[in-house]
Amino acid sequence: MPPALHTLGILLFLLTGKVENVSFQQSSSQLVKEGTVKLKINCSHDDNSLTVMLWYQHKQSSQSMSLIGFEYAGSPKYEGQFEDQFEITREDTVRGALIIRRANLSDSAVYFCAASTHSQSEAYFGNGTKLTVLDPNIPITPPTVKILQPSLKECKDKKDKKNKKTLVCVASGFYPDHVSVFWQIEGENVTDGVATDNATLRDGKLYSITGRLRVPARTWHTPGRKFNCTVSFFNGTHTTYHSGLVYGTDLGQGEGMTREKYLQITQTAKLSYGVFIAKSSLYGVFVLVLVWKLQASSGKQSN
């Protein structure tokens, strides 16, 4: 790697989060067949002072991005390993494109467009374009969606005394991995308390992803309340939707017999039994006294 490009790559990677002053537009996610030629990913931004346009590749298996190359003053420059596979073009200062000459499976990645004024200045990044080159040996398969109900061991927050319940949505067995997860309660979209895995997980040929919804206990413990997890799945031509559904339950319904509950029940039973024995003993004493008085009264009358 040429020293100048290496230094530039490190500098821009460290500045990836600084995007607040520039608005970027990149091509939407793409699914293509292996062997597709002249695949183009477009990029544009709204700052004419940014004269350098750069392109990065980020693979899911990697923790860092790789600089493909950059274009400045009509002259594109490439990192060596990318020069034969990619072409960087520029219409003007704010518009450009990355062209993949022939799509291979190894090209599946997220491609980021970036811009700066020169090699030592602040860099701004777009949101990225996800590209999947379809493996011809794996059929397109939609996800199976299932919602796991709150754990029986989920405890109260001792700090604010609020009881929370967590529902877990598992989407599994799908290919490719162009999915997103969202939640609904009674048909209304919810975002509070929602979290989704940052990336899909691959198990063999297929993928899975997990999402979570955390709600107040009183929200979950409403019998018949509907909780939906929906996964949107892009199959290359259109988006399909796949949902899981569970209903809220009564407080305590299906919570099972925990050790604490068992101890509580047994202690209550012991206390109740003790009270019963005490009452029985007092009743027995009362009966004996009553019988004694009756016998004494009967003896006096016979005299």
What are the chain's domains?
Answer: 3-134 (2.60.40.10), 144-247 (2.60.40.10)
Q: How far apart are CA 135 and CA 114, in angstroms?
A: 29
- Alpha carbons 175 and 139: distance in angstroms, whole number: 7
Note whether 233 and 240 are within 8 A (CB).
yes
Return the bridge partners of 164, or none: 216
Which helix (H) or strand (E) is 302 found in, with range? helix 259-302
Share of the chain above pLDDT 90, in %: 65
Note the pLDDT of residue 27: 97
CA distance 167 to 229: 9
Q: Which phi and psi (to 5°) does residue 209 adopt?
A: -150, 150
Ranges of beta strands (E only) in 158-265 are: 162-174, 179-185, 188-190, 194-196, 201-203, 206-216, 226-234, 239-247
Q: Pairing mode, if any, of strands 109-116 and 129-134?
A: antiparallel
At 286 the pLDDT is 58
Q: Which H or E element spans position 68?
A: strand 66-72
Residue 250 has a pLDDT of 82
- Taking the CA atoms of 71, 75, 81 and 84 in sequence, report the sign of the dihedral they define: positive
**pLDDT reading at 225 higher than 70:** yes
Sorted by sequence, the CB contacts under 8 Å of residue 10 that are 6+ apart come out as none
Residue 295's pLDDT is 61
Mean pLDDT taken over the chain: 83
DSSP-H helix ranges across 65-196:
none
Say what the alpha-carbon torsion angle 26, 28, 31, 36 is, to the nearest 10 degrees.
-40
The separation between the first and the last C-alpha atoms of the chain, rounded to the nearest angstrom, is 128
Tell me the pLDDT tens digit for each residue of 158-182. Answer: 454 568 999 999 999 999 999 999 9
- Look up the pTM and report it: 0.70
